[in-house]
Amino acid sequence: MRPTTLTLACAPYDRVRPLFDGRVRVEGVEIVPVPIPSEQSFPRAVQRAEFDVSELSLSSHLVQLSRGEAEYVALPVFVSRAFRHGAIYLRRDAGIAGPRDLEGRCVGIPEYQMTLGLWVRGILADEHGVQVNAIRHRTAGTNAAGRRERLPLELPAGMDVAPLPEGDTLNAALLRGELDAVFSPTPPDAFAAGDPRVIRMFPDVKAAEIAYHRRTGFHPIMHVVGIRAAVLARDPGLARRLYDGFAEAKRVAAAELEARLRGSTLPMMLPWIVQAWEETRAVLGPDPWTYGVSANRAELEAICRWSEAQHLSRRRLAVAELFAPGLMES
């Protein structure tokens, strides 16, 4: 039987490359790799469902799922995870001494609905008691102009979320004093350049993130993988086979990393990478990048709660609704 050809759009992460280069095969499938960064794949997937299988913003997927507009069925394959305490940047002279001082302030973010924002606001609310819906948000690219919300927002009256003027950036607005803080996955150029006017809210980012993980058990899920619903309808068993393929690709990547770290020379220009990997496993466990629902259920429940509380999802989604049937206990 001729295999089904499927386009797979995803950043070329180490945990995905074995699928891209053919070291891991999916039964009955010929994968056509589309190795592109998420900034490119997300709008094309969300707005046009352009790819058969695609990396998806978890927050955007929840929004579309709650609206009955999701053209993808998600797999509990979390190709991107990232702690986010280091993503909160402050203007030094803004008078923000702690998280609660963000209430009522004007904060920049590339997109209100992005998963980073969902996580930062969730952490601020749960861990620090911040009334996050009282924050005023301005959206734009962090360092390059032109970014806009990929999905229309449905916010209640009284919430102040608006784009900066065309051509503006969060970095520039922060330096002009029009923003008090910025939530961003990439640092504002001023911070990256060592400008003393811009600081992080949590100076010891690593310590804050390790402490957060130890309190909650969370390793923040950012992106999932989705299959176009029309493709899955023709082959319902594809969800399980793809999930198994991604899980095997991750296993291969981890084994390859272990082997390279045991070698006589370092695989990359990080002198303490061996110690970093050992410390990561000591904190996060033997599999720091878990897939599947069971091991991540509490985290997924928190994400669903935050999405509704932040007026992104139209209703509180249940974890059982999020993923393809048959994969709930993967």
pLDDT at 1 over 80: no
pLDDT for 192: 98
> Is the whole-model pTM more than 0.85?
yes
Q: What whole-number distance in Å separates Cα of residue 259 and Cα of residue 166?
A: 49
* pLDDT tens per residue across span 19-58: 999 999 999 999 999 999 999 999 999 999 999 999 999 9
**Strand pairing report for 106-109 and 136-139:** parallel
Per-chain mean pLDDT for the chain: 97
Q: What whole-number distance in Å separates Cα of residue 19 and Cα of residue 215?
A: 35
pLDDT over 90, % of the chain: 97
| Spatial contact of 210 and 136, defined as CB atoms under 8 Å apart | no
DSSP class of residue 186? S
Sequence-distant (6+) residues with CB within 8 A of 186 are: 142, 143
Phi, psi at 176, each rounded to 5°: -75, -10
| Spatial contact of 291 and 77, defined as CB atoms under 8 Å apart | yes
Q: What domains does the chain contain, in order, with CATH numbers?
A: 4-81+221-294+317-321 (3.40.190.10), 85-216 (3.40.190.10)
pLDDT for 3: 82
* pLDDT tens per residue across span 67-96: 999 999 999 999 999 999 999 999 999 999
Residue for token pair 């994400």 = 303
Rounded to an integer, what is the distance from CA 163 to the centroid of its chain? 21
Nearest alpha-carbon partner for 309 in 182, 57, 123? 123
| Spatial contact of 45 and 72, defined as CB atoms under 8 Å apart | yes
pLDDT for 329: 67
* pLDDT tens per residue across span 293-322: 999 999 999 999 999 999 999 999 999 999
Q: Supply the DSSP string of 51-71, one letter for each residue.
A: SSEEEEEHHHHHHHHHTT---
Q: Work out the number of other CB atoms within 10 angstroms of the CB of residue 101.
A: 16
Task: State in Å, rounded, how far the first CA of the chain is from the last one.
Answer: 28
Residue for token pair 């734009």 = 140
Sequence-distant (6+) residues with CB within 8 A of 233 are: none
pLDDT at 330 over 60: no
Q: What whole-number distance in Å separates Cα of residue 275 and Cα of residue 83?
A: 19
Q: What whole-number distance in Å separates Cα of residue 197 and Cα of residue 19?
A: 44
Rounded to an integer, what is the distance from CA 166 to the centroid of its chain? 26
Task: With residue 90 as reference, give the H or E element that holds it.
Answer: strand 88-91
pLDDT at 232 over 90: yes
pLDDT for 106: 98
Q: What whole-number distance in Å separates Cα of residue 238 and Cα of residue 26?
A: 9
Sequence-distant (6+) residues with CB within 8 A of 263 are: none
Q: 224: buried, middle or exposed (CB in 10 Å: 19+, 13-18, 0-12)?
A: buried
